[in-house]
Structure 1
C-alpha cells in the first residue's frame, strides 16, 4: 500500500490544525503523507494548498501572505485563494495564464479546528449536538501510531485498570461489565450506557464513584465519549479528533465540553494531559502500527466496541492506516 490518500479517504474532511494556530503567516501541515500549506485570504477564511510552488517546487509555507495572496519565498510568485497565479515580480507586465496555478484543496473551520479535504468530499465534518457550552481543546499530540489505532484506544475500556490505574481504573476491578453496541441510522457504532468504577472520574472529583459512559463513533477517525458520575457532578464530553499524518503516525486533539464551573482551565488541561501521557507509550508500542481490520488479533467479549469499530471502517471502505 502506498502512503497516499485513496479515493475513499478523499471523500472525508480531516482536521489538520487548530483554528487559533493559523494567524497571518502560512502554516505547514501534513495529511496522509501530503505536505500542505494553510493560510488566510483577505476575508480571513482558511485556504489550503499543496506545499509546493508550481514554478520551481519551493515550499509555499516558507513564504508570506500580502494583501490576501500567498507569495512564494523563492521568486515571489503570488497566488490567490483559488490557487491562480496573479503576479510574477520578474515579469511585472506579464499576465499569468489560467494554467499557472498552485494545487488547491478544500478547507473550512468547524469545532475550533481547520478541516481539510483532498478531493470531492461527500461527507460533512461530524456534527456535535447537545454538549455543554464550555469547550477546551488539548493538543496537538503527535503519536507514532496510525489514526485508527488511536481512535480505537479512545473507545477501549478494558485498559483503564492498568494504563490509568488510580485515575480511571483500579487493578482490583479490571472486569468489564456486559454492554450492548448499537448503531446510528448511518451505521456508526454506539454504546448508550456503560458503567465503570473510577477512583478519580474527573478533574473535580474528590474521590471514587460509579460513572455512566456513552460512546459514539463520529467518523472513521473521530469519536465522542460522554460521562457523568452517578452521584451527580459535572457532565464531561470528550471528542477525539485524529489527523492521519501518515499511514503509521497521527496528530491528535482532544476537545472537552464540560459543565464543570469549578475547575480552572489549567486543572482540566493537566488532568487530560496526564491521562493521555499514560496512553501514548502503550499506543506507540503496539505492533503493527496500522490497525488490523481483517483479522490477526484476538478478541474477547469486552472488545465488542472495538470489533464494531473495525467493521465500521471496513463498511466505509477505509484503507489508510489499516491492514
Structure 2
C-alpha cells in the first residue's frame, strides 16, 4: 500500500553528507540523496538516464551527483550539467535529465513529497507535518541519540504497532511493560486532519533511571538521584501521536524524568520497513550513559519486531472483516478509518 500526495521521511539528516551519495529504497524504488554546495539535499531516482547505472555508486563533484560509469553530472533539480564524452560546444541532449523529487529537512529527518501525479506542478506543496513537541538538538537540557533497524513487515503494520497501547504488558513484559496494567485505556483520544493522538496514564519503570545511572552515580549523583518524596515516582503520562504519512512520537513524562522517541517508518519494499529513530532523554545527559540508553531502545524495538513480523495478512485489515478490534484499539480504529478515506479519495493504492 502507498499513500500518495503525502510527505514521507526517508532518511536521517545526519546520514546525508556532503562528500558521498546515500542510497535509499522507498516503496520498492531506489533513490539517491546527497548535499549540494549550499548544503541542500537533492533526491533523484538512483538511475542514470544514459545507460542505467546506479547514481549512488558514483561520487559528488562540485555539489552535483556524478555517475560512476561515464561521469554524467546532475544537479538536485534533475538537470544534466556535464557529459564528459560530449564534444565541446555541442548542445545538451533534451532527454539528459531525470525527475527530481521534492525534498525538505526538519526535525532531524529528510522528507520527500510522494506525488499522485509525478508530472504535475509541484511549486505549491503543502507544509510538512508539525511534529512535536520535540527538543532542539542543541538544547543542553536534553541528550539525543539516533539509530535505525529494518523490520520484515509492512509499514502500515509497523505504524499500528507504535500506536498500540494494550500490547505493552505482554510484548514488553521483560522491560518497561512489566509495570503496566493489563488494562490500559486512553484518557484522551482524537483525530485531526492527518494526525492521531492519545494520552494514557503510565506506571513508572522504577528501575530505568537506576539502571541508566549504575556505575555513574559517584560522578553524576545530582542528575541521577530520586527523592523518596518525589511525586513523579508514581504514575506518569504517555503521549502517543502519529502524523501521516510515516512519523510517530511517543513521549513519556514523569516530572523531570522525560523520554521522547520520534520514529520514521520508511516503507522500503511491500514487506520491509526501515525504522529511523531519534531518542531524547532529560536525565543522565552524560555521553557515558548513551550505551545504556541505546541498549534500551534496541531492546524495545526488538521486542516489538519479534511480534510484528508474525502478523498476517501482510497488510492491515482496513475493512474490519478479519480482525476483532475493541474500544481499547481506538488509535488503530482511527487510523484504519483515515486510510479508508484516503483510499476513497484515490490517495491510497
Q: Smaller-chain TM-score range?
A: 0.7 to 0.9
SS in 2 for 1:103: coil
Matched-pair contact (CA < 8 Å) for 1:38–1:49: yes
Q: How does 1:149-168 map to 2 (within 5 A)?
A: 149-168=157-176
Per-residue deviation at 1:40?
A: 1.5
**TM-score of the superposed pair, with normalisation by structure 1:** 0.86
Task: Quote the Cα distance in structure 2 between the aligned partners of 1:135 and 1:22.
Answer: 21
Residue 26 of structure 1: aligned partner: 21
Contact 1:132 1:235 in 2 (8 A): no
Number of residue pairs matched by the alignment: 310
Residue from 267, 270, 277 that aligns with 1:247: 270
Pick aligned residue for 2:177 from 158, 164, 169: 169
Structure 1: gaps of 5 or more residues: none
Contact 2:9/2:247 (8 A) holds in 1: no
With over 3 angstroms needed to count, the CA separation of the structure-2 counterparts of 1:145 and 1:57, relative to structure 1, is same
Does the 8 A contact of 2:171 with 2:303 survive in 1? Answer: yes
Q: 1:233 to 1:60 in 2, by over 3 A?
A: same
Among candidates 235, 238, 246, match of residue 261 of structure 2: 238
Question: Residue 280 and residue 178 in structure 1: after superposition, are their counterparts in 2 closer, same or farther (change >3 A)?
Answer: closer
Q: Name the residue aligned to 2:102.
A: 106
- 2:328 aligns to what? 302
For 1:172-191, what aligned pairs fall within 5 Å after superposition? Answer: 173-177=181-185, 179-184=187-192, 186=193, 188-191=195-198
Distance 2:242 2:103 in 1: 23
**Would you say 1:41 and 2:41 are equivalent positions?**
no
| Distance in 2 separating the partners of 1:302 and 1:91 | 65
Q: Which runs of 5+ in 2 are unaligned?
A: 116-121, 137-141, 213-225, 227-232
Q: Deviations over 1:172-193 (max 9, x none)?
A: 9322246442233x253222x3
For the residue of structure 1 that corresponds to 2:101, the secondary structure is strand
Contact 1:150 1:242 in 2 (8 A): yes
1:128 equivalent in alignment to 2:94: no
SS at match of 2:235: strand
Tell me the distance in 2 between the aligned counterparts of 1:147 and 1:269: 23
Indicate the RMSD between aligned Cα atoms, in angstroms.
Answer: 2.5
SS in 1 for 2:183: coil
| TM-score between the two structures when normalised by the length of structure 2 | 0.80
Deviations 1:218-270 (A, max 9, x none): 223222222223xx332222222111112221111222233224463222222
